[in-house]
Amino acid sequence: MSTSVRIIGTGLIGTSLGIALSSAGFAVTLEDPSPTAVRLARDLRAGSLATETDADPDIVVVGAPPDVTAQVVVDALSRWPHAVVTDVASVKESVLRDVLASGVDATRYVGSHPMAGRERSGAAAARGDLFDGRAWVVVPHPDTTEESVRRVRELALAVGAAVRVMPAHEHDEAVAAVSHVPQLAASIVASCLRELPESAVGLAGQGLRDVTRIAASDPRLWTQILAGNAAAVRDVLRHVRDQVDDVVTALDGIVERDGAGSLGTLSHVLEAGNLGHARIPGKHGAAPAAYVVVSVVVPDEPGALARLLGDIGSAGINLEDLHLEHGLGQAVGVAEVSVVPASVEPLRTELARLGWRVHD
Amino acid sequence: MSTSVRIIGTGLIGTSLGIALSSAGFAVTLEDPSPTAVRLARDLRAGSLATETDADPDIVVVGAPPDVTAQVVVDALSRWPHAVVTDVASVKESVLRDVLASGVDATRYVGSHPMAGRERSGAAAARGDLFDGRAWVVVPHPDTTEESVRRVRELALAVGAAVRVMPAHEHDEAVAAVSHVPQLAASIVASCLRELPESAVGLAGQGLRDVTRIAASDPRLWTQILAGNAAAVRDVLRHVRDQVDDVVTALDGIVERDGAGSLGTLSHVLEAGNLGHARIPGKHGAAPAAYVVVSVVVPDEPGALARLLGDIGSAGINLEDLHLEHGLGQAVGVAEVSVVPASVEPLRTELARLGWRVHD
């Protein structure tokens, strides 16, 4: 008999999970305080609507907003005395603390954080492949049973995620640095653009776009996430503030022309950025240098890119990643083709032979 | 007779410009303190090596590091008493000030800043299409002759750039906000990753990758850029610091559980980020919402993406942008296809008819 899963909260994560689990053969039932949201999730094949007569689920996944997650988890543990309960909130220690403080039997509770998301929110933005190849952090606590961890791990693997197990405080400290402070930095940099003259924002390049992309994220959700991880975010943010202070002081020194050591401070901050950046694993969890980008000039006409990719496919070379850069109204674009290092030379040779203009 | 251009400094920008101008029919000669760099540039078809017997150039482009740019401009104005001289440094007011302070006849000097670059530097990273569709800021000063501005504008247009004319201080204030402070923010956020445990950096997602991409930039170059625009960068960075301070205080309040207004502060910063982000023009200079992304599931096998793009091309639909997202070792990837809004429905219908799995 297939594992039965109740998903409570059919937002982006809950609905995406429902789609992925349903297509993996799990029996998914859905509930959400919003009848519209839950029906949309059902129509997207995330599962069937929950009814009063449903049998008890094996696993409950709470996809509620962070500030009500603990309460919904506690309720679920009481409603279904044999079910394993997990949640997908982006913060884990505050949820765990509130669950334990409730006095409920928490041996069947194990936290989760699938490291997947989009700038868009809600069921409409859901994708069944949202978890494919993403990390899924499983967060047991000292009283969690082995069986509960096994159940949640199984569920994460079923949707293609890579499971990492760590305690709540370790998770929260990690995401403060790799997710929550970057969100704040993007928002703050973007907020500096509000009052700029039109001619100034017109100079925006790809660097600014990348740095601020996640500044488009949902403020309500992120207020709760930051508040739920306040201590860890504050600690990282103090480091950020100290460095910003150092740079402001260095720039003051340069402006006042008495800045001994000012250039050294600037250089140090930029070099530290190089070192930190080099630690980020590649998109696929591999080392950053695992793929090589080859740039190919592509005429801006229907079918040209298809011809290029046909030529790459015919050469038996697998694309690892592809990005097309278009010039503004120009006659050519540049396709940035990522391949494994061993494929670079065969790719260059073959494309050049077929008349493509190839750059490193 | 074709316009003759001397390029002094064959780094990324100088070499890319040489390639673009040569292929547009300009007669380009190259010089650089490094014999290796200038020969590489020549081999990349950026122009011919400068010799003692060259006729005087019509235009000189200085592509030297920011901290020596003014001196090289002054030397060029003296060496060639009839040439128009421009430079491509990322800061304009400090260069202009030093040029004027030298007492040279600066009527033939007009500053430039092509808004184009890469994380990689040097001639080897040069691309002839680097300026395609990018802004090229032309920065005259009160004594610049009309003819000099006309010459530089002509050169920018010849390489496909979109010319914007503005005074030096306006340029410097603009790039402080849209380029220099984002660079610092990326570097500082990345630097917070240096001491993290491996398990923590393993949780990095696309958001972090985007925010920190430019943290890989050259520290020597950026130290000079920031120092050259110290006052304007400091002013924007003070705003950043004030907001970081506000957020630290708000998080303190939440940790100490006496944070009246703390959530409001967080929410305000995130909303301000939304507003600032919405002002950034799209990649192609159009409004951010000009293209719609349609996601199509693509099997991870040679030729599959080519088949998809062939189907799109056969339907007569032009791709505006394309990004392929691969799941880690998964059987499918997701192609994010950007098209104009009017093409969305025809695209969805046609692809669904041909059996592709299409998401919004």
According to DSSP, the β-strands at A332-339 and A292-299 are antiparallel
Q: How far is CA B126 from the centre of its chain?
A: 13
B330: closest CA among A132, A75, A193, A261? Answer: A132
Counting one residue from chain A and one from chain B, the pairs whose CB atoms sit within 8 A come to 463
User: Which residues from A are below 8 Å from B294, CB to CB?
Assistant: none
A335: closest CA among A292, A291, A296, A293? Answer: A296
User: Which residues from B are below 8 Å from A175, CB to CB?
Assistant: 203
Q: Which residues contact A149 (CB under 8 A, 6 or more apart)?
A: A110, A138, A140, A165
Count CB-CB contacts under 10 A for residue A228: 24
B121 contacts chain A (CB < 8 A): no
Asked if A318's CB is within 8 angstroms of B129's CB, the reply is no
CB B297 within 8 A of CB A226: no
**Same topology between domain A4-166 and domain A288-359:** no
Asked if B269's CB is within 8 angstroms of A187's CB, the reply is yes
According to DSSP, the β-strands at B48-49 and B27-31 are parallel
Please classify residue A331 by burial: count the beta carbons closer than 10 Å to its beta carbon, then call 0-12 exposed, 13-18 middle and 19+ buried: exposed
For the CA atoms of B234, B235, B237, B243, what is the dihedral angle to 10 degrees?
150
B331 contacts chain A (CB < 8 A): no
Asked if B124's CB is within 8 angstroms of A279's CB, the reply is no
Q: Which residues contact B258 (CB under 8 A, 6 or more apart)?
A: none
In tens, the pLDDT along A209-253 reads 999 999 998 899 899 999 999 999 999 999 999 999 999 999 999
Give the tokens for residue B108: 């033939």
Give A298's strand partners: A333
Q: Which residues contact B206 (CB under 8 A, 6 or more apart)?
A: A283
Q: What are phi and psi of A99, to 5 degrees?
A: -65, -45
- pLDDT at residue A287 in the model: 41
Helix (H, G, I), strand (E, B) or coil at B221: helix
Residue A109 is classified by DSSP as B
Gap from A107 CA to chain B (nearest CA, Å): 25
Asked if A284's CB is within 8 angstroms of B201's CB, the reply is no
Asked if B209's CB is within 8 angstroms of A283's CB, the reply is yes
Domain ranges of chain A: 4-166, 235-280, 288-359
As assigned by CATH, the class of the A288-359 domain is: alpha beta
Instruction: Determine the CATH number of domain B172-278.
Output: 1.10.3660.10
Give the tokens for residue A76: 């679920």
**Beta strands of A97-146 (E only): which ranges?**
111-114, 135-139
As a whole number of angstroms, the distance between CA A92 and CA A152 comes to 15
B287 contacts chain A (CB < 8 A): no
B214 contacts chain A (CB < 8 A): yes
Give the tokens for residue A136: 């899924």
Asked if A318's CB is within 8 angstroms of B271's CB, the reply is no
Asked if A133's CB is within 8 angstroms of B328's CB, the reply is yes
User: Which residues from A are below 8 Å from B262, CB to CB?
Assistant: 227
Q: How far is CA A223 from the centre of its chain?
A: 17
As a whole number of angstroms, the distance between CA B357 and CA B6 comes to 54
User: Which residues from A are below 8 Å from B212, CB to CB?
Assistant: 182, 273, 276-277, 280
As a whole number of angstroms, the distance between CA B21 and CA B10 comes to 13
Chain A segment 22-51 residues within 8 A of B by beta carbon are none
Radius of gyration of the CA atoms of chain B, in A: 24
Site of tokens 């309960």: A85
Please classify residue B85 by burial: count the beta carbons closer than 10 Å to its beta carbon, then call 0-12 exposed, 13-18 middle and 19+ buried: buried
Q: Which residues contact B262 (CB under 8 A, 6 or more apart)?
A: A227, B249, B250, B251, B253, B254
Asked if A197's CB is within 8 angstroms of B207's CB, the reply is no
A125 contacts chain B (CB < 8 A): yes
Asked if A135's CB is within 8 angstroms of B219's CB, the reply is no
As a whole number of angstroms, the distance between CA A37 and CA A107 comes to 31
Residues B351, B352, B355, CA angle at the centre, nearest 5°? 90
User: Which residues from B are below 8 Å from A197, CB to CB?
Assistant: 170, 174
What ipTM describes this predicted complex?
A: 0.77
Show pLDDT as tens, one digit a residue, over chain A (360 residues).
789 999 999 999 999 999 999 999 999 999 999 998 898 889 889 999 999 999 999 999 999 999 999 999 999 999 999 999 999 999 999 999 999 999 999 999 999 999 987 767 788 888 888 998 889 999 999 999 999 999 999 999 999 999 999 999 999 999 999 999 999 999 999 999 999 999 999 999 889 999 999 999 889 989 999 999 999 999 999 999 999 999 999 999 999 987 678 999 999 999 999 999 999 986 444 344 457 788 787 776 777 878 888 888 777 777 777 776 554 344 456 677 887 777 888 888 889 888 888 876
As a whole number of angstroms, the distance between CA B334 and CA B294 comes to 10
As a whole number of angstroms, the distance between CA A93 and CA A111 comes to 9
Residue A9 is classified by DSSP as -
Q: What are phi and psi of B267, to 5 degrees?
A: -60, -40
Give the tokens for residue B335: 């192609």
Which candidate from B207, B312, B330 shows the least CB-CB separation from A160? B330
Asked if B185's CB is within 8 angstroms of A263's CB, the reply is no
As a whole number of angstroms, the distance between CA A306 and CA A240 comes to 45
Asked if A314's CB is within 8 angstroms of B303's CB, the reply is yes
Asked if B212's CB is within 8 angstroms of A277's CB, the reply is yes
pLDDT < 70 stretches in chain B: 119, 259, 282-290, 300, 324-334, 360
CB B335 within 8 A of CB B319: no
Give the tokens for residue B42: 């020549």
Count CB-CB contacts under 10 A for residue B43: 9
Helix (H, G, I), strand (E, B) or coil at A30: strand
- pLDDT at residue A79 in the model: 97
- pLDDT at residue B329 in the model: 42
A275 contacts chain B (CB < 8 A): yes
CATH superfamily membership of A4-166: NAD(P)-binding Rossmann-like Domain (3.40.50.720)
As a whole number of angstroms, the distance between CA A300 and CA B191 comes to 39
Mutation to test the A interface, candidates B127, B181, B328, B330, most A Cβ within 10 Å: B328
Give the tokens for residue A169: 């405080």
A310 contacts chain B (CB < 8 A): yes
- pLDDT at residue B3 in the model: 95
